Amino acid sequence: MAKRFKAAVIGGSGYGGAELIRRLLMHPDVELVRVASVDYIGEPLANAHPHLEGRTNLVFEGLSPAEAAQGMDVVLLGLPHKVSAQKVPEIMATGARIVDLSGDFRLRDPATYKRYYGADHPAVGLLDGTFVYGLPELNRAQIQQAKYVASPGCFATTIELGLLPLAKAGLLSGMVETVGITGSSGAGVVPTATTHHPVRAGNLRTYKPLDHQHIPEITQTLLTAGAKDLQLSFVPVSAPLPRGIFATSFVHVDEKVSPDDIKRIFAEYYANEPFVRVPKKRLPEVVAVAGSNYVEVACQPGAVENGRRVVACFSAIDNLIKGGAGQGIQSMNLMLGLDERLTLEDPGSWP
């Protein structure tokens, strides 16, 4: 029986591409028709992704983006930042829907893009709202109507979901200080001097402290959601685990906001979200969400000082799934009018 929709993945040889392909091969309503890449051309997908051995006869194809998108209902882009924006116009001309996993269409201000991505934006005219920011917990209705979606970054997803209920309640303002710890798969397939296993295993190190490219993305999103005068100080830390991100954010709310208020705000905001869990008897942890599209969030209210209560907000995700390909599939499902949970409900493994 023929599936209802056809999809292509462009940039499918990396870790994010592997997760996109895996989920699409399982999809009951979307057929993965082709995978384009500049690597492994003509070779079976399993040559880059061993877990797909015997699962598909598809091969990596050396196609132009327009060729790869021809006749497709949706195209999922796993291309690098700055490359994606160069290719998007020719894909748009084919009429296909687009889910872009790069950072090229998340920011609205071209000057901010240049500041954090180190180059002028290749398609400034598309920063006018053409792409919807693909965070379903904030923009579900817009994603359902969208033709083009910019999927959020991994750190951004983690931190935003840990703070979003406070922003929507009008309680998030002023300085937010965050430390985010990330697994090695977020650095990509090709090892570098600081991501290679011998220097990553058994090690913790920070990088881009207070200057990470997800800072303006997070700030923009939370301000849109209702935060006021927000300033984010963010320090990312690389950790010796393959998958996962754990973020701790320190915020200050009015002393009149009680611990019970905070608990209620989070419980109510996420009550009907299919992929957000607020654990009742423990705090979020990476191993509980690794390998899945789920996110865990919780807040721990603390002491009051000078009329403000300190609150520590915790959030954990799998960087490749909810922080990448899985969230992209979730948005794709919404765009196509499908159940957003399709292929994403598996809970991962434990431990």
Which tokens is 262 given?
């905070």
The answer to whether the peptide bond before residue 198 is cis (omega within 30 degrees of 0) is: no
Cβ atoms of residues 43 and 12 within 8 Å: no
CA torsion 319-325-329-331 (nearest 10°) is 70
Side chain identity at residue 285, one-letter code: E
What's the burial of 3, exposed, middle or buried (CB within 10 Å: 0-12/13-18/19+)? middle
Name the catalytic one among 10, 33, 74, 154. Answer: 154
Cβ atoms of residues 250 and 312 within 8 Å: yes
Distance CA 287, CA 69 (A): 36
Cβ atoms of residues 92 and 148 within 8 Å: yes
Which tokens is 211 given?
């200057």
Q: List Cβ neighbours of 153 (8 Å cut-off, separation of 6 or more).
A: 103, 106, 213, 214, 217, 323
Q: How far is CA 90 from the centre of its chain?
A: 24
User: Helices 15-25 and 325-335 sit at what angle, rounded to 10 degrees?
Assistant: 40
Residue 299 catalytic? no
Which tokens is 78 given?
């796993």
Cβ atoms of residues 247 and 215 within 8 Å: no
Q: Which residues are catalytically annotated? A: 154
